């Protein structure tokens, strides 16, 4: 047993990128202009790493704060070779420019999160973004135009936040309560004050709200529905959160390459435990053999999820080889996620294909969720993530005030799981490395693992 209290990762706040790595993305995408906050940590290093031809525009946050907050905001210092946003905007026309935009024109190059591999630039068109906004809106068929209130805590620079917390509420004519980031007590106070009706988040957010002492006093029962994406939602968390809010916490699914939403559990229809639901309107989905994309497997069998629809990307930025690996000539996108479909057309997400492993002597693959669901049954476990190294499962666990030992965790798993799924090690962490939306970066957890012990007898 080992307990890690250090941060083994170094990243730029919110982005999980060093200034130099972000500057490399600017270079690859041939960006002409970069807009950044004056107060952004690492700003000088970022500006120094930018290509010489890139224009840098800086924004002072105090300019956009309420009057009573401006005095406490840090004073920006002018930086040579940059322009001030406020100065550029002075004297500009308030009318929208007349620019011809075709549906197939590139709208943005959105980089993937890189939770299991190197981030890729995803080319999304205006058609992709508009289509996915309308698909998601029609999935929420009982949402009322001009009547809903969204609490927006997801970053808009992530595709999940862009679609579900910005484009979707705008399409609904909803009121948006904007937060620069998710901070638990601040979010709870906003719920108490504004009584939002809809809320998009990730499992770690709902887990934090569920575990906050006396959370009911914040009036969380104003929330009619919550959308959960970005990572699988543990059943224990879903059930506990719904008891708190008396609303619906439904799991959806998507990926950057699909703008991102492709599946969702019906808000007021049939719901199946552990399911990501059914394809959104105008979205096709099927499960194909893990090693043969041309072969569709039968209902109930495990394979790789493939999707097709108007929200699917046009390709990866300047990477035709990587594009051909996931996108075929008929528009089918291989998601890289292992899933199965039941006879009713509901899909269950098993794991990332890159996260599965073959336990010794077993013909069928194993997946982190097989073990994580059991770990969440332990009352002291607050959050759990499993990775496999050399085909052996390793559990990372964070606990509440009442701790638990590694031997106790392993003993519980032995009672609930076969030997080949019982964690070989349990490592305790105070916090997990996450990407900009809160998804755990499993590739960084692997760096914390000491040498693997001999297999259990």
Give me the CATH number covering residue 205.
3.40.50.12780
Rg (CA), the chain: 23
Structural domain ending residue among the three candidates 44, 59, 89: 89
Q: How confident is the model at residue 453 (pLDDT cuts 50, 70, 90)?
A: low
Do 371 and 397 form a contact (C-beta atoms < 8 A)? Answer: no
Look at residue 274 and tell me whether its pLDDT is greater than 60.
Answer: yes
Q: Which of 249, 266, 311, 267 is nearest to 285 (CA)?
A: 311
Domain annotation covers residue 329: yes
Q: Quick one: 236 and 120 in the same domain? A: yes
Q: Is 286 helix (H, G, I), strand (E, B) or coil?
A: strand
pLDDT band for position 117 (cuts 50, 70, 90)? low
Quickly list DSSP for 5-51: -S------TTT-S-HHHHHHHHHHTT-SEEEEETT-TTHHHHHHHS-
pLDDT (0 to 100) of residue 252: 85
Residue 12: its pLDDT value, please?
A: 42
Asked if pLDDT for residue 215 goes beyond 70, the answer is yes
**120/226 same-domain check:** yes
Strands (E), 317-375: 333-341, 347-352
Looking at the structure, do residues 50 and 167 belong to the same domain, yes or no?
no
The count of residues in the chain is 457
Shared domain check, 375 and 311? no
In-domain check, residue 3: no
Domain of residue 421 covers 356-448
Domain count, the chain: 3
Q: For residue 306, how many other CB atoms are within 10 A of its CB?
A: 21
In contact, 316 and 289? CB cutoff 8 Å: no
pLDDT, position 115: 60
Using pLDDT thresholds of 50, 70 and 90, give the confidence band for residue 436: low
Residue 264 bridge partners (DSSP)? 252, 278
Over residues 429-447, mean pLDDT? 81
The helix (H) or strand (E) run that includes residue 388 is: strand 381-389
How much is the average pLDDT of 273-296?
92
Measured at the CA of 131, the angle between CA 169 and CA 440, to 5 degrees, comes to: 65
Please check whether residue 453 lies inside any domain of the structure. Answer: no
Of 89, 120, 141, which residue is a domain's last? 89
Tell me the backbone φ, ψ of residue 118, rounded to 5 degrees.
Answer: -75, 135
Residue, of 414 and 15, whose pLDDT is higher: 414
Residue 114 token pair = 């890189």
Separation of alpha carbons 60 and 89, rounded Å: 13
Nearest to 339 by CA among 285, 300, 302: 302
Helices in 234-358 by DSSP H: which ranges? 235-245, 320-326
Q: Is the pLDDT of residue 231 over 80?
A: no
Specify the CATH number for the domain of residue 392.
Answer: 3.30.300.30
Tokens of 57: 């525009």
Please report whether residue 252 resides in a domain: yes
Predicted confidence band of residue 223 (pLDDT cuts 50, 70, 90): confident
Whether residues 427 and 304 fall in one domain: no
Q: Tell me if 8 is assigned to some domain.
A: no
Same domain membership, residue 397 and residue 410? yes
> Do 223 and 166 belong to one domain?
yes
* 399/17: higher pLDDT: 399
Residue 9 pLDDT grade (very low, low, confident, very high; cuts 50, 70, 90) = very low
State the average pLDDT for the chain: 87
Whether 126 shows a pLDDT value over 80: the answer reads yes
> pLDDT of 133-190, one tens digit each?
999 999 888 889 999 999 999 989 889 999 999 999 999 999 999 988 889 999 999 9
Instruction: Tell whether 10 is covered by a domain.
Output: no
In this structure, the answer to whether residues 345 and 207 fall within a common structural domain is: yes
Prior bond of 257 cis (ω within 30°): no
Contact 290, 271 (CB under 8 A): no
Identify the sign of the CA torsion 75, 36, 199, 271: negative
In a domain, 97, yes or no: no
In terms of domains, do 318 and 386 share one?
Answer: no
Q: Angle at which helices 184-194 and 203-211 pack, to 10 degrees?
A: 80
Asked whether 119 and 113 are in contact (CB, 8 A), the reply is yes
Q: What is the per-residue pLDDT for 192?
A: 93
Domain final residue, candidates 303, 329, 353 = 353
Pairing state between β 381-389 and 347-352: unpaired
pLDDT in tens, 31-87: 999 999 888 888 999 999 999 899 999 998 877 777 777 777 777 788 889 999 989
Cα–Cα nearest to 235, from 272, 269, 270, 274: 274
Task: Give the pLDDT of residue 107.
Answer: 96
Q: What is the DSSP letter of 382?
A: E
Tell me, yes or no, if the pTM score tops 0.95: no
Asked whether residue 197 falls in the same domain as residue 244, the answer is yes
What's the pLDDT at 6? 28
Confidence (pLDDT) at 14: 45
Whether 293 and 228 share a structural domain: yes
Q: Is residue 100 part of a domain?
A: no
Answer yes or no: is pLDDT of 456 > 80.
no
User: Are residue 110 and residue 212 in the same domain, yes or no?
Assistant: yes
Please report which confidence band the pLDDT of residue 15 belongs to, taking 50, 70 and 90 as the band edges.
low
């Amino acid at each position: 047993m080992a307990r890690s209290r250090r941060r083994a990762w170094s990243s730029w706040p919110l982005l999980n990128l060093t200034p130099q790595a972000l500057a490399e993305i600017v270079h690859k995408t041939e960006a002409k202009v970069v807009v950044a906050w004056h107060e952004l940590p690492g700003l000088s290093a970022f500006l120094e790493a930018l290509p010489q031809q890139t224009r840098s525009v800086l924004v002072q946050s105090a300019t956009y704060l309420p009057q009573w907050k401006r005095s406490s905001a840090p004073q920006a210092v002018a930086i040579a070779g940059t322009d001030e946003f406020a100065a550029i905007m002075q004297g500009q026309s308030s009318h929208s420019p007349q620019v011809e935009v075709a549906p197939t024109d590139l709208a943005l190059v959105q980089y993937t999160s890189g939770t299991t591999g190197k981030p890729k630039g995803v080319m999304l068109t205006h058609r992709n973004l508009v289509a996915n906004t309308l698909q998601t809106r029609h999935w929420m068929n009982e949402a009322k135009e001009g009547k809903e209130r969204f609490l927006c805590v997801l970053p808009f620079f992530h595709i999940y936040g862009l679609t579900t917390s910005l484009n979707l509420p705008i399409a609904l004519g909803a009121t948006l309560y904007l937060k620069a980031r998710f901070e638990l007590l601040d979010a709870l106070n906003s719920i108490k004050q504004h009584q939002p009706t809809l809320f998009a988040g990730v499992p770690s957010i709902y887990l934090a709200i569920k575990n906050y002492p006396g959370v009911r006093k914040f009036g969380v029962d104003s929330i009619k529905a919550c959308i959960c994406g970005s990572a699988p939602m543990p059943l224990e968390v879903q059930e506990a959160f719904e008891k708190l809010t008396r609303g619906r916490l439904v799991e959806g699914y998507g990926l950057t390459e699909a703008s991102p939403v492709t599946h969702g559990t019906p808000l007021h229809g049939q719901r199946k435990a552990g399911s990501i639901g059914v394809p959104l309107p105008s979205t096709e989905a099927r499960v194909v053999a893990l090693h043969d994309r041309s072969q569709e497997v039968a209902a109930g069998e495990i394979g790789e999820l493939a999707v097709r629809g108007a929200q699917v990307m046009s390709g990866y930025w300047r990477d035709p080889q990587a594009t051909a690996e996931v996108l075929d000539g008929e528009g089918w996108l291989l998601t890289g996620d292992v899933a199965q479909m039941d006879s009713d057309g509901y899909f269950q997400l098993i794991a990332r294909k890159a996260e599965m492993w073959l336990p010794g002597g077993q013909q069928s693959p194993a997946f982190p969720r097989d073990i994580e669901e059991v770990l969440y049954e332990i009352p002291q476990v607050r959050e759990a993530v499993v990775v496999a190294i050399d085909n052996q499962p390793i559990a990372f666990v964070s606990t509440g005030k009442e701790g638990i030992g590694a031997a106790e965790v392993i003993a519980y798993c032995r009672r609930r799981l076969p030997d080949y799924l019982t964690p070989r090690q349990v490592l305790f962490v105070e916090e997990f490395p996450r990407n900009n939306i809160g998804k755990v970066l499993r590739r960084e957890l692997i760096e914390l693992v000491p040498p693997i012990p001999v297999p259990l007898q």
